[in-house]
Amino acid sequence: MGMRGVLFYAFLAVFIDPCRGTLMNCEEVRKVFQMKEIGPVKSIPETPRTGSDLQVCLSKNLTCCTKKMEERYQVAARRDIQNLLQMSSSSLKFLISRNVAAFQETVDSLVHQAENHTHAVLLQTYRDLASPAAAPIGEFFTDVALFVLGSELSLEEASHRFFNALFPLVYERLVEPGLSRLSLPYAECVRVACRDLAPYGGAPSRLAAHISRASLPGRVFLQALHLGVEVINTTDHIQLSRECRRGLLRMSYCPHCQGLTASKPCMGYCLNVVRGCLASLAEVDAHWREFVRSLEMLSTRMHGAQDLEQVLLGVHELVRDAVAHAQMNAPRLSAQVHRVCGHPSRQPEQVSSVQHGGAGQDSLPLKGMVRDAEDTLSNRRKEFISSLRLHRAFYGGLADQLCVSELASGDGLACWNGADVGKSYTLRVVGNGIKAQAENPEVKVKEADPVISQVIDKLKHVNQLLQGKSIPKLGTLDQIETGSGDGYSGECDDEDGCWGSGNGAAKRRRIVTILLLGGRVVNKHTMGLVHLDLRIIGRIRRVTWPFVPLLPLGAGCRGEKRKRAEHFLMLPLKLSTSFTP
């Protein structure tokens, strides 16, 4: 017998009469009850009593427990197991949450660099065009960032809007460079006419299709990570059945009633109780393993046309070529604009010379952007998948891990077997999962937890998306999170960017989304749902996870508006609030 066993039996000798086997006083029970903050100590008897009123912690001997104490112990047992669940999953949840933020930050940085690169190319090739084009370029890349990170805006519309806004500048400086600055009404006429004139050929649609196709895997990948956090949050707060709560009470605190406050359950006994309580979580195991595998499979497919980094850093070439196409067709465009908008007035004294990049400048290659290898999306994904792989068996071994590392007594030590302290547990030990609990002698399990079943359905659904077995349409990615929506599948056409329109009829929560750009609230969107979430979103270089700017609720929400109020971006941050839009 080890030293721990000797000390344990010495402890028993102090509080239990070794001749009669009965409890002598309740002092130690009182101390532990108070130390664990289980409840008011006034409910603890001074001396042992008969336990005829007890429902779970039954004993032939005298007991230090009352019915009130038994109720308090049951609450404590439930709290203990939920704390252990949260502690066990904390590293996994932090891994996913941290990488969601890191991916968003990397995407934001990448889009910002692509924006600067596009502006630099225009500055080098069409110097006089670059400065006034900065605003439309910035607007377009803001839309790109929102789209890449999950907003259900139409990138096709955003691309056409960008090129339409660019056309008055192209017309003024490249198509008819001898003109004075266009008046606002005439410039607006030119912008509207762009829709029918197609001065850029198919460039707007190609740009939208390329970015859409490259963004699809990343959008699904990021949304899957959000779901991963949701799965963990749900399983951390599993609703324990009445049978489970009674089993935990019997295992953890019924020995206290007999003064055995230092005892731990036998390993087999612990496994039966905890496997019974967490049977529904064991059912998550196969789908979680597939989730990890599917994330890895998707990550390996994100190359070539689906390499977002490569596509975004090539946007400048398409924009430059589109402007060159318009310049090459200047005579046709000029005649068509005159036919639609009339002839603009000329004011030679206000004419500014058009500056093109000279031959010497054109021959100089644009300095490539230097990116830290660690900041690339590909490297971040590889590192994340490598770490996540270590947690692929998390749910399959959860019950066993809790018993081995936290709850059960070590081999060869005296342990609580549900009735008394001994050296072994003689009843059959069942396996993991719902079916295995049919023979569980400690906890009766009738059916799977319906909430966990819903989480499993979401995992199945997102696994299909990750494996490319179904294609998400507009509005459906967020339904993975809200837990509704019809199935979706179809072929991805390169020209339509893989996005259709969703038609899932779902009960929705009430969501208020606030967009932060540059520290200002610039957008609010409300959708009809059952309860209210507040999602604070923005360009990550200004909002660092997990810290966000503190906003007085209601302040600035009805201030400056953007044109497309329905466009929003989700960060993995939900705050309960009573704010009414």
Least confident of 48-62, 150-164, 422-436, 466-480: 466-480
Q: How many CA atoms lie within 13 A of 174 on its CB side?
A: 27
Q: Is the peptide bond before 546 cis (omega within 30 degrees of 0)?
A: yes
Per-residue pLDDT averaged across 117-129, rounded? 88
What is the C-alpha separation between 346 and 330, in angstroms, rounded? 18
Which band of pLDDT confidence, cut at 50, 70 and 90, is reported for residue 429? very high
Residues 125-175: tens digit of each pLDDT: 888 888 888 999 999 999 999 999 988 899 999 999 999 999 888 888 888
Q: Please choose, from the candidates 67, 7, 14, 80, the residue with its C-alpha nearest in 3D space to the C-alpha of residue 259.
A: 14
φ, ψ (nearest 5 deg) of residue 181: -60, 135
For residue 31, pLDDT over 50 is answered with yes
Q: Tell me the per-residue pLDDT of 330-353, one tens digit each, with 9 for 90 and over.
A: 899 989 988 888 887 654 444 444
Joined together, the tokens standing for residue 451 give 């909430």
Token pair for 63: 């007991």
Helix axes 155-170, 127-148, angle to 10 degrees: 170
The whole-number pLDDT of residue 16 equals 47
Q: Mind listing the pLDDT tens digit for each residue in 186-197?
A: 888 989 988 888
pLDDT class of 22 with cuts at 50, 70, 90: low
- For the chain, give the percent of residues with pLDDT over 90: 50
For residue 451, pLDDT beyond 80: yes
> Is residue 556's pLDDT more than 50?
no
Q: Note if the pTM is more than 0.85.
A: no
pLDDT digits (tens, 9 = 90+) for 233-242: 999 999 999 9
The residue written with tokens 């019924």 in the block is 254
Residue 371: per-residue pLDDT: 52
Which of 271, 287, 267, 290 has its CA nearest to residue 279? 271
Q: What is the CA radius of gyration of the chain?
A: 33
